[in-house]
Amino acid sequence: MAKLSVNINKVATLRNSRGGDYPNVVEFAKDIQRFGAEGVTIHPRPDERHIRYQDAYDLKPEVYTEFNIEGNPIEKFVEMILEIKPTQVTLVPDAIDAITSNAGWDTITNKSFLYDIISTFKANGIRTSIFLDPDLKQVEGAKQTGADRIELYTEEYARQYKKGNKHAIKPYVEAAALAGEFGLGVNAGHDLSLDNIEFFKQEIPGLLEVSIGHALIAESLYLGIENVINMYLNKLKF
């Protein structure tokens, strides 16, 4: 069964829009774990437009499931990770002005940089995952960095699935299979939803974890957060 990690960035966006502390992201994280979520994901960015760096510190003592922190390993981010020591850090090559994640790492060009960063995190007992396009050469490059896992960037799959093109799953199946041969664990995230998650899970049997935020929070506006979390858990159990 793939684990469900809920990305709570959108909750922080809602909080920040009014300048106060409601909804409180720590209380929300506690609630979603109580409702069955098996992990909490945050993705602080340098401009702190949603999750703030302080939120990461505040969440640490309250996340008793898996704590996954995503981000570009700039100096401030690396310092925070080493202080908090989350269960997992997911490295994402975000441009500073990116609205959302829009590409995986070039693990070949950035091999030395990623190797050094990953070595530091692993020496501190932190599992490391690399955000990756479903490209076999990039999977091979990820293996050379010493990463524990890859997170498949699933935006293109989600876009094509919505159009009825289920063949778009093929590169993800191939990338996951190669990762398995290399001993890399496989996570996935970006635009996964109640509509497309079940098929993705069925086609990627070794899937360990999905990180879902935007769609899950949007679906919860209609269906309720506790109900939506359990709907995801049901779709991921087989």
Annotation marks residue 226 as catalytic: no
Annotation marks residue 190 as catalytic: yes
- Among 38, 66, 70, 219, the one annotated catalytic: 70
Give the DSSP letter string of the chain: --EEEEE-HHHHHHHHHHTS--S-HHHHHHHHHHTT-SEEEE---TT-SSS-HHHHHHHGGG--SEEEEEE---HHHHHHHHHH--SEEEE----TT-SS------TTTTHHHHHHHHHHHHHTT-EEEEEE-S-HHHHHHHHHHT-SEEEEE-HHHHHHHHTT-GGGGHHHHHHHHHHHHHT-EEEEESS--TTTHHHHHHH-TTEEEEEE-HHHHHHHHHH-HHHHHHHHHHHH--
Which of 18, 82, 22, 71 minimizes the C-alpha distance to 48? 71
Annotation marks residue 167 as catalytic: no
- Among 50, 190, 209, 219, the one annotated catalytic: 190
CB 193 within 8 A of CB 158: yes
Instruction: Report, as residue numbers or ranges, the catalytic residues.
Output: 43, 70, 190
